[in-house]
């Protein structure tokens, strides 16, 4: 199953250049990298990136993330994927721009 990470363009650029990241400031503060399922990612974008337009959506294969991927309760008790290790460029199955439209973020076809 694919899980998703939303990064700001500078965060994606840094990952692209160095090949690894510990995540965004919220990830560093919490001690793990916040991920979302396809059913959660639109709400994540709306809640945490509502006014941000230059975002990148990363798709990751949950089976390739190994035992460092934990499913833990978060918003409303739903289980969210959390990655307890560095995210590497090799983990990324694909990346796509996540532009902001008049009604919210515009996700690639077939994601939601």
- pLDDT for residue 69: 98
- C-alpha 56/C-alpha 67 separation (Å) is 25
The 10s digit of each residue's pLDDT in 29-55 is: 999 999 999 999 999 999 999 999 999
Residues 6+ apart with CB under 8 A from 70: 32, 81, 82, 83, 84
Q: Higher confidence at residue 103 or residue 112? A: 103
> Could you give the percent of the chain with pLDDT greater than 70?
100
Domain positions in the chain are 2-102
Sheet holding 55-61, edge to edge: 2-8, 55-61, 92-98
- pLDDT for residue 73: 94
Give phi and psi for 89, each to the nearest 5.
-60, -30
Check if CATH label 3.20.170.20 holds for domain 2-102: yes
Give phi and psi for 49, each to the nearest 5.
-135, 30
The 10s digit of each residue's pLDDT in 49-81 is: 999 999 999 999 999 999 999 999 987 889 999
Residues 6+ apart with CB under 8 A from 39: 112
Does 112 have pLDDT greater than 90? no
């Amino acid at each position: 199953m694919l899980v998703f990470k939303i990064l700001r363009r500078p965060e994606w650029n840094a990952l692209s250049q160095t090949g690894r990241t510990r995540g965004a400031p919220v990830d560093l503060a919490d001690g793990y990298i916040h991920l979302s399922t396809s059913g959660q990612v639109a709400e994540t974008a709306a809640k945490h990136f509502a006014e941000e337009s230059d975002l990148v959506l990363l798709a990751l294969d949950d089976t390739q993330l190994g035992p460092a991927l934990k499913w833990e309760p978060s918003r409303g008790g739903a289980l969210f994927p959390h990655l307890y290790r560095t995210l590497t460029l090799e983990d990324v199955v694909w990346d796509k721009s996540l532009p902001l439209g008049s009604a919210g973020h515009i996700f690639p076809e077939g994601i939601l």
